[in-house]
Each structure stands twice: as C-alpha cells, then as structure tokens.
A = this chain, B = another copy of it.
Amino acid sequence: MTKIQIEDGRRRAVIEAVDPCVDGGRFPIKRTIGDVVQVEAIAFCDGHDRLRVHLLHRKAGLRAWRETPMALGDNDCWRAGFTVSELGQYTYTAIAWVDGFLTWRHDFNRRLDEKDRQRALLVGADLVAAAAARATPGNARRLTRFAGGLRGSQSVEERAALANDPELDALMLAYADRSLAVTFRPERAVVVDPLRARYSTWYEMFPRSCAAREGEHGSFKDCIARLPYIAGMGFDVLYLPPIHPIGRINRKGRNNTLTPREDDPGSPWAIGSVEGGHKAIHPQLGSEEDFKALVAAAQSHGIALALDIAFQCAPDHPYLSEHPQWFRRLPDGTLQYAENPPKKYEDIYPFDFETSEWTPLWQELKSVFLHWIGRGVRIFRVDNPHTKPFAFWEWVIGELKRAYPDLIFLSEAFTRPAVMHRLAKLGFSQSYTYFAWRNTKYELQTYFTELSTGPGRQYLRPNAWPNTPDILTEFLQRGGRPAFMIRLVLAATLSASYGIYGPAFELCEHSPREPGSEEYLNSEKYEIKHWDIERADSLAPFITRVNAIRRSNPALHSNEGLRFHAVNHDALLCFSKATPTLDNIVVVVVNLDPQRAAAGWVDLPLRTLGLPEDQPYRMHDGLSGASYAWRGQYNPVALDPGSTPAHVFIVQRFLRNERNFDYFA
C-alpha cells in the first residue's frame, strides 16, 4: 500500500486521470500542428467544497506551464483544450485545489438568515485580506478595498453584490491559495507533427524503371521527368525503394531465383557493395547532386521525397568487413546470413542487436538517417522495423525528432496487432495496416471502426495501401480494373493517408508469380521494368479525380469523423466522413463486388450529420460530376462496377431564400 507522504496530508483535491494518454503516460499521443488537444481530467475533493481545476501545458524543455481553467461536466469530468502551434513535444497535466473563496461564496449565496449572512461576510473578508497578502502591491490595494467593503457598514445586500463582483472573482483566482494544490503525475506528452503526418498521399516507384527508353536503367534525372505525372495525379509523397549500391555476392535473379544472369540488377533491398552502403547512391541512379536535384524538383511540385530505410546488408556491404562484430558469428567463424528456417536469405545479413558493440551500431544507424536528412529528406519508410529492437527505434526516432521535429517515419510492419501498435506508440508517425486484406463489408467496417475509434487512434496513424511491391492481393489478381478502382476509393477515403505502388497500380498489373502467391510475376524487385504510363486504360485520370476530391474536402484529411451507415445490400458499403463542425461532409458508397452491379437503400442519420429532415439536400458525386437531390433518411443507390463502382458524394445542404431560390451551399 502506498505510504502517504507527510506533506500530502492536507491536500484534499484528487485528480484521478488526465486523458488522452497512452499506457498511463508511458508514450505520447500524436497530433498535428494547429490542432486543439482536448483534455479531460477526473477531479474532485471530499465534502461539498468547491474545486478549481486548471489544464497545464508547456512545450517540452520549457519550465513555465501555461494554464487554462477547465470546465466541469458530468461525473467529475473537467474539460479544456490547448492549441499546439509548434512542431515537437508538449507535455500536459492538470492542477486542482480546493478553493476556499469559491466555497465561501457558494455557501454565502445560499444563506437565508440575515445574521448568518453578516457573520459570513466577515469570514469572506478574511479570505480576501489573506489573498491581498499574496498579491502585487497594486492588486493588494484593490483586494484590501474589497475586504474593507465586505466588512463595512453598507447593507448586507450591497456587500453581497460586492462578494459577487467579477473583478473580485478574477483577483481571488489570480491570488488563490494554492499551497495545497495537487498536480497530476505522470505528465502526459503529445508529439506534434507536420500536417503530412496526418494527411498524405503516397506514390511508390522504382527509379530504375523510369528510363525513357526500354532496356535502360532509370536515373534520378528520369524521376525528375516523371514528377509532373505524379504530381498531376495528386500525390504529395514520392517514396523510393532503397537507392543504394546493390550487393553482387549471392545476388537474386529475376523472380527471386538463385541463378541470376550477369545483367540482372538485383533487389534494391540487398544493400551494399564495394561501391558503398546505406549512405551511398547506386551509381546508375546518379550522383549526390542528381539526388539533391530530385529532392528540390519534387519539392517544387509539392512533393516530399521519402526514402526507404532497410537496416540489413548484402554480403559485400562494407559493414561486414569494417564491423564484423555487428553480425552474428557461427562456430566456424563465418557470419550468419538471414534465415527463417527452413527459408534462407543468403543475400541478406541482419545486424546482431545483441552484440556487445551495440552502442556504436546504434550510433552508426542513426547517422544513416542524419546523412539523408542532411540531403533534404524528411520522410522515411522503415522496412520491417519489427525485426529490430523496439528500444532502438524509440531511441533513434526520439533523438532524431528532437533535432528535426518535422520528420515523418512510416512503419512497414505487417505482423501481430500488439507489435504494430508498439511501433506506433514508440514513435513511428504512420503505420502500414491490414487494409490490403480487408475486403468484405464486415471486415472493412470492423477494422476501420477500430482504427478510428479504438485506443490506437491516439497514436497509430494508418496508411492504407491497396498494393505494394510485395503485396498483390487476390482481390486485385481476380477483380480486374473495377477491383483496382474499388480498392483505390476505399484507401483514399477511409484513410487520411494512403499510397499506391505505381505504375503497377494505375496500369492494373495483376499477374501473380504463381497461383496462391501475393508476389508479382516478373516482380520489379528483381528486374527493371518499362511501364507504358500513357496507356489508354490507365487509372491515372481516375486517381487524379479521387485525389482532387481528397484535397478539396477537409473531412478526408482526418480519420476522426468516420461513421459507417447501413445499406440493405451486402456488397454495398456506405460511410461518411465529417469535419467536427459538420461544415464538410463526404458520403462514400462503394460496391465491393467488382463483378456484379448492386442496388440498395442508404440509411443516413440525418441529425448526426446535421441534414434537414424535411427538405431535400444535394449529393454531388465528385467522381461522376453528377448531382442528386436526396430527401429524408433513406435514398436509393445503384452501382455498376462496369462503369464506376463508387459514389464519392460531397454533401451540400439546401439553403434557400428569396434571392437565390435554387442555391446550394
């Protein structure tokens, strides 16, 4: 049982909880710049005395708290908010104290007996005089005047008015006796990220496949030429697989074979060769200058470059010879390549994080990030973070974000829920999800309800990918072009951040290496591709429309306002996203069946969405450009995947007056 500290004995206020918090304050919550952090505190005291509760917040590193009075709601829950206007970390908590003056005034105002009221005024005067002793000279004079007034010769009514004077109220709050105040511990923390951490649109692309001419190795210069295409579709993050020299020893051939041809380029994730390691650039991609030019060109298109950080080494990575102690050594003296028996990955050597030389290893890995940060990179997609120690990530992300609070880290962990959540808690800004494998109405509703309303919403920001170079889902393999459209609309509207691996995606690449495999046939991971991005059946125009809708509708920039709605057809999924003020509402209806048309009635909660019960409202479909006049709770939809498998409605409330009787806004 906790021993009571002797100095705590007279502290009667209790703060039981300060929320939001993650694991009792062990980890920070996440917000983006400009957000208002809404804080709730459960606080009370014994008896009937009046409590004051203030929200405290400060930028990390500052000593002084900023205070905001909290308002009492139901069940001893006090609420207030603070705005996070700078990147980095803030801490927050609450302070509470039993307020003698408030208690006195509350009791005084309820007293009926004249003599009682007179006696009570003297008690109040003493409280005011005591506050005067704590005040600055000027305010002390004002308080002393009030104390005199309360004690004075005026009528009880006049002195009662004085007791309730707002000026006195403000002074008594300013000089409240807070000697017995309690401050809740441990403080909570919030990481404030740039907006792109919450709302981002990713395009993954292999630079080596960007050459203008088939058969050539693409370069950063080719990437620059491709930027208008990418920006034109509305993407704002361009993510490149590893750009480093690729190992030659045990290099994998096409389709992951062990028998490469001389000219096979190898997997970009087999990092390192005599030409360098994680800080070097694959010579065929270009020079450091070319890389910087790409970063700058992307920026001028509103695109941030994201690099892949894969902490593993090809057999000829310089680390193996320079730092053999960072790898596991077998009894025969050789170093241990990656395995997951019976599978072997002879082209990859993992770091041994249990090495006694872990400190220089951590420092070196941190320096890899710093290297690319120094070249203008602010976003990192981290490969398989769940196969490196959690403590390492917490340390390295913490260190880096302290110096560069605008950094964004995307966790590429497809593993058990607890592990994915841990990575998000410890610092990753965004997380890959199970979205790729959630296809049915039940699966999508359950999963995105969990993501947007479960405890993880405070720290795990989903980034939804319909495909990746490793993931060609069965749904995409079998569903044809409508399947790609369905999955794009779902990713882009269910999740504030999403990404595609292109041009494979927009060109509806859908052949698996073999039946039952999620690997692409002739995967770009092992060979250079030449994509015909001008193809007539490309989804680029469709993607452009979807991303334009995203950009112009703030409701889609967050996952908070997500609500699923009933439709009386199992293949039809309906949900809305709304801003907190309901000034922007998007309603999405998707036919989840890429083969068959479906029709049904959508059931919208009119009051929740602030829609009129008795007047029509306009549903503008951002995909087709068509508008529909809906009325009431139930409205029909019909979606044929042969044309467009989804509506993305922007809701326009009907506003009619004598001047513009047909105006919708």
Contacts and interface: CB of A to CB of B under 8 A. Distances in A.
B76 A402 contact: no
A157 interface: no
Contacts of A28: 1
A338 B16 CA distance: 28
A10 to B, nearest CB: 5
A392 B9 contact: yes
Contacts of A624: none
Contacts of A14: 390, 422
A506 to B, nearest CB: 35
A353 interface: yes
B416 A75 contact: yes
- Nearest first, the 10 A-B pairs at minimum CB distance are A24-B24, A1-B398, A4-B395, A110-B341, A76-B418, A122-B331, A107-B341, A47-B387, A112-B342, A12-B389
Interface string A397-429: 010011000000000000011110010000100
- Which bucket holds chain A's interface residue count? 35 or more
Contacts of A269: none
Copies in the complex: 2
Given A17-B23, A107-B341, 17 more contacts: A1-B398, A1-B427, A2-B26, A2-B394, A4-B394, A10-B353, A11-B389, A12-B389, A44-B416, A48-B387, A75-B416, A111-B341, A116-B341, A119-B331, A122-B332, A123-B331, A126-B331
Contact of A419 (B10, B76, B339, B392): B76
5 contacts: A10-B353, A12-B353, A12-B391, A14-B422, A112-B341
Interface of A: 1-4, 6, 8-12, 14, 16-17, 23-26, 28, 42, 44, 46-48, 75-76, 89, 107-108, 110-113, 116, 119, 122-123, 126, 180, 189, 191, 330-332, 339-342, 353-354, 358-359, 362, 386-392, 394-395, 398, 401-402, 416-419, 422, 427
A11 B44 CA distance: 41
A582 to B, nearest CB: 31
Contacts of A331: 119, 122-123, 126
A418 B72 CA distance: 14
A390 to B, nearest CB: 5
A377 to B, nearest CB: 21
B89 A1 contact: yes
A115 B417 CA distance: 37
A239 to B, nearest CB: 23
B1 A389 contact: no
Nearest to A385: B46
Contacts of A4: 391, 394-395, 398
A76 B76 CA distance: 36
A399 to B, nearest CB: 9
Contacts of A2: 26, 394, 398
Most B-side CB within 10 Å, residue of A1, A28, A419: A1
Given A112-B342, A341-B110, A342-B111, A16 B418 contact: yes
Nearest to A43: B418
Given A10-B354, A386-B46, A330 B419 contact: no
Contacts of A191: 1
